[in-house]
Structure 1
Amino acid sequence: MRLENTGIEDSIVDLRPLDHLTGKHAFIRAGQWDYERVTYDYKIGSQEKNVTYYIRIQGHAIEGDVDRGDAVIKLLTPLLGKHYYPHGVEYGEAENFPESLVERAHTLVSKVADEIQHYKK
């Protein structure tokens, strides 16, 4: 599910402050990057058996290189996904998400977006 109107989409920010701000809000990049893209995930446990939810913030380098740490990242519209063990994460609009989870996802992404405003290019 796309999380529209969070204020983060189309933001342009240097990789280092982006890594810091997302980490501060428990969004983890870990090994989820390549030379041109970054992905930050926030994991949310569930009472449902073998189900975990993820909020995903993604971006792509418009300048520089993620590997060298000098990239300038343009952020995309965040996603809310549902991980089905052992099959993977589904982000489709056909997925059903509890309204409280959608609200929480919007709040978490909006907090990151507010802080990114200070570092936008």
Structure 2
Amino acid sequence: MEKEWKELTDRGIYLRVLDMPILDTKPGQDTMNQLVSKVVFDLLSYIAQMEREKIRERQREGIAAAKKAGRPTGRPRIEFPKNWAEIIKQYESGDITAQKAQQDLNLKPGTFYNLLRRYRKR
């Protein structure tokens, strides 16, 4: 975060946090204000980073507990539509386009191609 802050100020972009007036990078500030702004920003960045790490750790613990308890984790796997074989046969023979196949199967493009990849791996 500090790198991004410095990059912005180096490009002449100055930041002012409205609900924290101590964080103000506008030019003309005395050295003491600049130093205080930097220290406060560094402290807040550190606290935010620690919080992100705590959240990730809690998430890992939750996933591990769910797996240990035998509960499924992650996004549920999408099933092939009932008319999949019929539509894919037409698509692979060139009778219909991918877009028409997606419409007939009522699938979004990403889902269609993911299912197609899974189908071909069988």
Q: Which TM-score band applies after superposition, normalised by the shorter structure? A: under 0.3
Q: Select the structure of larger CA radius of gyration.
A: 2
Higher strand share goes to which structure?
1
| Structure having greater relative contact order (Cα 8 Å, sep ≥ 6) | 1
TM-score, normalization: structure 1? 0.22
